[in-house]
Amino acid sequence: MKEVAVIGFGMTKFGELWNKSIKDIFVEASLGAIDNAGVDHIDSIYVGAMSSGIFVGQEHLGAVMSDYLGMNPVPSTRVESACASGGISFRQAYLDVASGNSEIVLAAGVEKMNDGADVTAALATAADQEYEVYNGVTFPGLYAMIANAHMHEYKTTRKQLAAVAVKNHSNGANNPNAQFRNIITVDQVLNSTLVADPLRLLDCSPVTDGGAAVILCSMDIAKKFTDTPVKVVVSTQASDTISLYERETFTTLKAVSKAAEKAYKQANLKPENVDLAELHDCFTISEIVVSEDLGFFEKGCGGPAVEEGKTSIEGGEIPINTSGGLKSKGHPVGATGIAQIIELYEQLTGQAGKRQVKNAHIGLAQNMGGSGASCTINILEAV
Amino acid sequence: MNGIVGYGSYLPHYRIKIESIAKEWGDDPAAIKRGLQLFEKTVPGLDEDTITISVEAAKNALKRAQIDPQDIGAVYIGSESHPYAVKPSGTILIDALGIGPDVHVASYEFACKAGTEAMFVANSLVKAGDVKYALAIGADTSQGAPGDALEYSASAGGSAFIMGDENVVAEILFTNSFTSDTPDFWRREHEFYPRHAGRFTGEPAYFKHVVGAGKLLLEKSGMKPDDFKYAIFHMPNGKFPQVVGKKLGFTKEQLETGWIVPWMGNTYSGSSPTGLSAVLDVAEPDDMIFMVSFGSGAGSDGFIYRTTEKIKEVQDKAPKLKEMLDHDKVYLDYGEYAKFREKIILNE
Amino acid sequence: MISPRYAREIPQRYRLEASKCKGCGKINFPPRLTCPACSSREFETVKLSDEGKILTYTIIRVSSDTFSRETPYAVAIIEVNDGARLMAMIADTNLNNVAIGKKVKLVFRKIQDEGVSGLHCYGYKAVVV
| pLDDT tens column, B291-330 | 999 999 999 999 999 999 999 999 999 999 999 999 889 9
Q: How many residues does chain C have?
A: 129
Confidence at residue B328, expressed as pLDDT on a 0 to 100 scale: 85
Residues B19-67 have pLDDT tens digits of: 999 999 999 999 999 999 999 999 999 999 999 999 999 999 999 999 9
Q: Which of B161, B142, B139 shows the shortest CA–CA distance to B318? A: B161
Which of A194, A243, A250 has the CB atom closest to C61's CB atom? Answer: A194
Do A285 and A344 share a structural domain? Answer: yes
CATH label of the domain that carries residue A348: 3.40.47.10
Tell me which amino acid residue B325 is. Answer: L
> Number of residue pairs across B and C with CB atoms under 8 Å?
55
Whether A123 is covered by a domain: the verdict is no
Q: Is the pLDDT of residue A129 over 80?
A: yes
Q: Is A120 an interface residue toward C (CB < 8 Å)?
A: yes
b/e map A189-203, b = 16+ CB within 10 Å: beebebbbbbbbbbb
* ipTM exceeding cut-off 0.95 for this assembly: yes
User: Domain boundary residue among A222, A255, A286?
Assistant: A222
Beta strands in B234-277 (DSSP E): none
Whether A27 is covered by a domain: the verdict is yes
Count of CA atoms in the C-beta half-sphere (13 A) of A318 = 24
Please give the average per-residue pLDDT across A222-234, as a whole number: 97
* Phi then psi dihedrals of residue B296, to 5 deg: -65, 150
Q: Is the pLDDT of residue C1 over 70?
A: no
pLDDT band at B347 (very low <50, low <70, confident <90, very high): confident
Whether A337 is covered by a domain: the verdict is yes
Task: Determine what percent of chain A is predicted with pLDDT higher than 70.
Answer: 100
Do A247 and A373 share a structural domain? Answer: yes
Do A333 and A377 share a structural domain? Answer: yes
Count of CA atoms in the C-beta half-sphere (13 A) of B150 = 21
Residues C64-121 have pLDDT tens digits of: 999 999 999 999 999 999 999 999 999 998 899 999 999 999 999 999 999 889 999 9
Cα(B141)–Cα(C120) distance, integer angstroms:
15
Decide if A138 and C123 are in contact by the 8 Å CB cutoff: no
Do A365 and A269 share a structural domain? Answer: yes
Do A212 and A199 share a structural domain? Answer: no
User: Could you give the angle at which helices A284-293 and A139-154 cross, rounded to 10 degrees?
Assistant: 60
Do A102 and A135 share a structural domain? Answer: no
Total structural domains within chain A: 2
Whether A324 is covered by a domain: the verdict is yes
- The sheet carrying B230-233 orders its strands as B104-108, B72-78, B133-141, B156-164, B3-10, B170-182, B297-307, B288-292, B230-233
DSSP symbols for A166-200? HHHHHHHTT-TT-S------HHHHHTSPEEETTEE
Whether A228 is covered by a domain: the verdict is no
Question: Residue A42 belongs to what H/E stretch?
Answer: none
Q: Is A155 an interface residue toward C (CB < 8 Å)?
A: no
Q: Is the pLDDT of residue A131 over 80?
A: yes
Please give the average per-residue pLDDT across B192-203, as a whole number: 94
Cα(A88)–Cα(A99) distance, integer angstroms:
16
Do A336 and A269 share a structural domain? Answer: yes
Count of CA atoms in the C-beta half-sphere (13 A) of B129 = 0
User: Domain boundary residue among A167, A194, A222?
Assistant: A222
Do A145 and A52 share a structural domain? Answer: no
Q: What is the mean pLDDT of chain A?
A: 98
Q: Is the pLDDT of residue B348 over 80?
A: no
Confidence at residue C125, expressed as pLDDT on a 0 to 100 scale: 98
Decide if B46 and C70 are in contact by the 8 Å CB cutoff: yes
Write down all domains in chain C, each with its CATH number in brackets. 3-128 (2.40.50.840)
Do A58 and A135 share a structural domain? Answer: no
Instruction: Report whether B93 contacts B10 (CB < 8 A).
Output: no
3+ Cβ–Cβ pairs closer than 8 Å linking B and A: no
Task: Determine what percent of chain B is predicted with pLDDT higher than 90.
Answer: 97
Residues A283-302 have pLDDT tens digits of: 999 999 999 999 999 999 99
User: Could you give the angle at which helices A284-293 and A254-267 cross, rounded to 10 degrees?
Assistant: 40
Which of C69, C92, C108 has the CB atom closest to B96's CB atom? Answer: C108
Do A217 and A191 share a structural domain? Answer: no
Residues A145-198 have pLDDT tens digits of: 999 999 999 999 999 999 999 999 999 999 999 999 999 999 999 999 999 999
Pairing of strands C85-89, B72-78: unpaired
Write down all domains in chain B, each with its CATH number in brackets. 3-169+328-340 (3.40.47.10), 170-307 (3.40.47.10)
3+ Cβ–Cβ pairs closer than 8 Å linking A and C: yes
Decide if A120 and C73 are in contact by the 8 Å CB cutoff: no
Whether A352 is covered by a domain: the verdict is yes
Whether A36 is covered by a domain: the verdict is yes
Nearest CA in chain A to C5: A130
Do A159 and A92 share a structural domain? Answer: no
pLDDT band at A316 (very low <50, low <70, confident <90, very high): confident
Do A60 and A16 share a structural domain? Answer: yes
Boundaries of domain holding A184: 128-204+233-382
